[in-house]
Chains A and B, each alone.
Chain A
């Protein structure tokens, strides 16, 4: 076990865990940030997506020892009041069914729009196809990403 100092959602936090512990489980088990979800553990479903220095990253395969000083943003830290343009769009389009995959979808979409504020249909599809949704909300996810793009300045 070693103590890791992590930069999460603008705060410095500590966790005493083994070096190979995936960031996902550090967030969920040790820091009480359960918005980031476990879906597969092998980088296939995107449920665990967080931002690492602004980039969408699968936290289930990211050992805590390699996070270093990178700035981690989770769904809890995406916006102060749940009003990030992507969150707003997700609500307006009423995307969630069961809701379990949606934090990962939102984090993936938010990172996309940050790097590419006006993505084409194809770019949206390519990026968002990494995230699974068993409830089949893909149509609305696509619509919501487009709507969020119009809200992003």
Chain B
């Protein structure tokens, strides 16, 4: 059964399609936290009016199909969701087929891949769904054998009656089970009895990925569709004049249209369109400030001193603390804009017709795409369908719908089905960047080297609040002030993998290291002492779990043999973000007088680890990504125009530049939290603090390669 797209979001339609699985048991359930109990959808027991957003089905042949509702950006959710259902079902994983759901607002609530929120959102619901089906299969088996259900158990796809040494497969019992009432209460497994959860399960999409199957948005094809590419204005410009004569005359070009200061070239094939786009003669004119990177650097320093800050958190009396301080430590940290650079550039298919619109493509926010499209076209949302494709990475970029609406606009203007493609240059210069930010930290130490005052001011360009005011060390310091200033700019910004914390964590954890040094304390012990203080005498609200943070700190210190190694310089970092706790130790060795990052140890507490393979992969990927962008990533501007346009001038980390990574998890029974982001934030400081240990030089600005101590490394 494939579900490419659903014509409209009415529940009846959904059920019809789902029921097409035919025979067996079809159990609808809601994983998004609603209290609706699971219900049989294909038997006489079917209850109308219950709100489902997913299902699992068991065919008479024993094939188990599970609908995995989140868009897949590479965070492994499409594999992790079904693992949870299959665990409680006691299914044979080899017989499980995973389907990707299309968008259906009512039924696929919270269908957003972002903020590492997918797993915690649905942990209990998914387990209950699996357990419900299992219970019904047991009852069906017990009935067949006329024995009490309590005497029956399950084993990897079979209901077993041990006393009489009989067993029946789930496929054999599925149709019977569908005629039974849905049990009101089901017993969930003890976490220690998990077999599938916590094991190593491979990505369910491997077969398609490894053979080059049509999976991604950019691969989508529809007979008769046209290809479109846009020329967008740089930041602060608008369209003044367009001469498309040459472009229009080129082979394969169907039309050149304009909307919202964009020029769209539409034609038969990508290469023809790209060439015609290059042949456009466009004059732009100034419409706003034309900002350059040196302006930002100047502005940051000015605003730190003279900006009007918004207070984010205030505990105690910082002024008094700094007045009484025996010494004050001060440091500033700055990061540049970063493009998202998913390997698959933005793209989307749109077919706007008189009475509706069909959308197909990679988006992390299908519901938003639907609603905004409906608004743009003046249609009710149910006239817009959205089918999701796999995404070649998102990193936050596909939370925005600008490229979806571009496709919609073009399709409407040329009255044809259109696949819009961004070139890499478009992707890098098209905006929605990780905002550039500068932080100023000040710490007050008393005569006994206790941290008695702490100040953080963040200044960001279109950054919103660039602080996370309740993060550590908030709660551990009696006198604390965190505030921020924002500069509004025509350069667009957006969420970028681990928004804000992707750089803030570096700054905070590098600063804490510097304060520990000033206090003459071991960096790990210094953090532990602060956490102990937060536990015993908390100041203000504490929004992180102190014990879990201590747990990862200790695990990372233990695994890395913190402070016990010779010939290698270690740096420590710990961060709580997106509901998970991660501590990391970076190790640096000196080679030819230059530091080389040799190894990173990671200790994460993300609750129960659902899939060892996926979880380890996320941690390693986050560390590579975090180090890569901290070391090399930078997008600069000259009068509103990005100066890096492709991977020849925008440097991304490569295989020869990665450190060895060792991954550890805290074992516990806490409900799982996501891992698509939390291991990225601490990586920069683990490395920078190790480089300090090795060289005596602190790093304050990203990209690190431009700092003096690293100049000259290849």
Interface residues of A (CB under 8 A from B): 1, 17-18, 20-22, 25, 28-30, 32-42, 44-45, 47, 74-76, 78, 82, 87, 90-91, 94, 96-103, 106, 125-126, 128-142
Contacts and interface: CB of A to CB of B under 8 A. Distances in A.
B393 A134 contact: yes
A132 B75 CA distance: 18
Given A76-B212, A96-B209, A129-B654, A47 B74 contact: no
B199 interface: no
B251 A25 contact: no
A133 B343 contact: yes
Contact of A44 (B618, B620, B647, B655): B647
A35 B345 contact: no
Interface residues of B, number: 62
B209 A99 contact: yes
B622 interface: yes
A91 B613 CA distance: 11
Given A129-B654, A135-B393, A91 B271 contact: no
Contacts of B221: 32, 34
Interface string B417-461: 000000110000000000000000000000000000000000000
Contacts of B652: 132, 134
> Interface on chain A toward B: helix, strand, loop, or mixed SS?
loop
Given A28-B219, A98-B342, 15 more contacts: A21-B269, A29-B227, A30-B269, A32-B221, A41-B646, A87-B211, A94-B202, A99-B390, A100-B216, A126-B656, A134-B342, A134-B343, A134-B625, A136-B620, A139-B620
Interface string B654-667: 11111001000000
A91 B200 CA distance: 12
A146 to B, nearest CB: 13
A129 B343 contact: no
Contact of B212 (A18, A36, A45): A36
Given A29-B270, A134-B393, A37 B210 contact: no
B691 interface: no
Interface of B: 72-76, 200, 202-203, 205-207, 209-216, 218-219, 221, 227, 251, 269-272, 341-345, 390-395, 423-424, 613, 617-618, 620-625, 628, 646-648, 652-658, 661
Contacts of B617: 94, 97, 137, 140
9 nearest CB pairs, A to B: A35-B212, A98-B74, A100-B392, A136-B624, A75-B212, A99-B209, A136-B621, A44-B647, A34-B219
Given A75-B211, A96-B203, A136 B269 contact: no
Contacts of B618: 97
Nearest to B658: A138
A14 B341 CA distance: 34
A30 B654 CA distance: 32
B655 A129 contact: yes
A53 B139 CA distance: 61
A33 B341 CA distance: 24
A30 B272 CA distance: 12
A134 B622 CA distance: 10
B343 A91 contact: no
A29 B621 contact: no
15 contacts: A75-B212, A94-B200, A94-B617, A96-B203, A96-B209, A97-B393, A97-B617, A100-B342, A101-B392, A102-B209, A129-B655, A132-B654, A134-B343, A135-B625, A139-B620
A135 B76 CA distance: 12
Given A25-B269, A29-B270, A141 B655 contact: yes
B251 A1 contact: yes
Contacts of A29: 227, 269-271
Contacts of B200: 94
A82 B343 contact: no
B646 A37 contact: no
Contact of B205 (A38, A75, A96): A96
Contacts of B613: 94
Contacts of A138: 624, 654-655, 658
Given A28-B270, A134-B342, A139-B661, A34 B214 contact: yes
Nearest to B611: A94
A102 B76 contact: no
B271 A18 contact: yes
A47 B212 CA distance: 12
Contacts of A129: 654-657
Nearest to A76: B212
Contact of A136 (B215, B628, B648): B628
Central interface residue in A41, A76, A128, A134, by most chain B CB within 10 Å: A134
A42 B393 contact: no
Nearest to A82: B211
A81 B392 CA distance: 24
A134 B270 CA distance: 24
A18 B250 CA distance: 11
Nearest to A25: B271
Contacts of A44: 646-648
A14 to B, nearest CB: 15
